[in-house]
Amino acid sequence: MSYKETVAKKKQFLQDQIPKEWIIKDVKSPSEEPNVNKYIESPEYGLLSPREIEITNYTLQELLKNQLDRKLTALEIAKAFTHRAVLVHQITNCCTELFLDHAYKQAESLDNYLIKTGELIGPFHGIPFSLKDQLNVKGVATSIGYVDKLFDVITDEDQESLLVQQLRSQGALLYMKTTVPMAMLSYDTYSTAYGYTENSLNRNYAPGGSSGGEGVVIQAKACILGIGTDIGGSLRCPAAHNGIWSLRPTTNRFSYMKVLNSFQHQEVIASTIGPMAYRLEDLVYFGEHILGDESIQWIKDPKVPPLKWQTNIEIPEKLTFAVMNWESTGIKPHPPIIRALEMVKKSLLSQGHELIEWDPPIVNTDLYKLLWDVFKIDGFKEVKDEANKSGEPVEYVFLGHEGITSAAEYWSLVAERYKFQQIINDYWLSTKAQTNTDRPIDGLLTPGWQFCALKLGESPKFNGDYSKQFNVLDLPAVQIPITKADSKIDLKDETYKPLNEDDQDNHDRYDAEFYHGANASVQLVVLERFGEEKVLKLANVVKKAVELPN
């Protein structure tokens, strides 16, 4: 069977999972209906009932309370969210797997448990989750963007991801896996296996990557929480481009056990797994209940440290934030993102917090180079070999690279990374001399990304100039959606003289009219590994200062 036939077969298989009564007969084009939520909830099309719209707009806490109060069943939740999910998929091409019956069976079990005991089975009782297509679920394929893996079904429960098993045991509803690019190594979500995925804020935009499908379904309210991964920005990029929240945790804070990956056991700079959500409080709730007392995370996964989530963490009343100067990256962000960062700075200052400049003795491009050297450690042989199994074309970004040839080269990469971590840690400690609080900075603010989103179908440049360095340093980071682009305010600076070729490329991409309404995010980083609780607490300070809606 040719790779094109395999792709067509998978497409039909996925279509067959959609109940006939939920099939959209005439999907409107992106120019007709650019915003997915407005499209789906429009009375004009009648795609969802008023009750389904109500249920899928409930918060996590409202879903739990309404079940306890017997105003809502888990099965009703499952039906409403799976309906919305298959509609979103038909509009944006965001799903790789739909396994709706799993959610219905789980929901019936949860409802029976609640009737018998009067209690919820766990913290995620009846809460809809989505999974990036690298987490293993029994009875479902995991492809990580390769044609050859489109029908690689997980047949044994022992192959399931530990996080999947934990979520299910705590009551989560699982019913979809979402699109990724080939090998999950792109800041867009396109693959020969599935084609292009559209952004749910505006379908004319790309959704970012590599957890792009997750960004789409969360913004489109097809689930409450999603699970993504990040080795160069793959949790933060889709969050920035779709206008949601995400947490890039320290490596191994959450278990990666039995999660399929490219370069599966590469640990020079390892991928990390974490949550994405429509609301900040849901990221906190996830951490608290995945890493609670005697968590299965560290009991079963030797890589996960036994660090219970701290629910009572306190932060000083007056905080000091450093702000990354965009010139240090050589890439000027688009006007809406600059304005978002200025909004945050102004709001924090008005609340009595302190701001200083972030100017470490290290060049960002050196950090980028190290990450890229790690990515191409085998000259992308693994990617090429996997693509060759089906005959699908290899994406251009993986061509023309040579890998390392000795153990000494490998060890030098490990040493270089450790050196960079020490330099940044020493610099962070030295900031105590610049603050008025007699302690180092509490957090670092950066632009969320250098652009609001790519135009759908554009060949993505390997970007991530505000994300990659924090993978090298392995620092916790959260993406904060601040505002929307405004074509009347966020004008292109036609007098700007770009600093380099990449800056020119980024400058040329900006079109104020095209990006009107796009999301503009800010990234918040803490300089202590395993500081996830702290970075989310600081993010809440930013949220309140800017007066972001709940």
Query: Residues marked as binding for substrate?
Result: 184, 210, 231-234
Nearest to 297 by CA among 256, 269, 266, 261: 256
Tokens of 100: 């709706």
Tokens of 274: 């974490």
Is 132 known to be catalytic?
A: yes
Catalytic residue among 161, 191, 200, 234: 234
Catalytic residue among 130, 143, 161, 210: 210
Q: How far is CA 409 from CA 182, 221, 231, 413, 548, in A?
A: 27, 46, 21, 7, 47
Is 42 known to be catalytic?
A: no
Other C-beta atoms closer than 10 Å to the C-beta of 226 total 30
Annotated binding site: 184, 210, 231-234
Catalytic residue among 132, 149, 221, 258: 132
Nearest to 421 by CA among 529, 330, 324, 325: 529
| HSE value, Cβ hemisphere, 13 Å, CA-based, for 371 | 24
On the 0-12 / 13-18 / 19+ scale of CB atoms within 10 A, 245 is buried
Is 210 known to be catalytic?
A: yes
Compute the distance between CA of residue 206 and CA of residue 196 in angstroms, rounded to an integer: 8
Q: DSSP 3-state assignment of 4?
A: helix
Name beta bridge partners: 227: 131, 275
Compute the distance between CA of residue 487 and CA of residue 4 in angstroms, rounded to an integer: 41
Contact predicate 200/36, CB 8 Å? yes
- The catalytic residues are 132, 210, 234
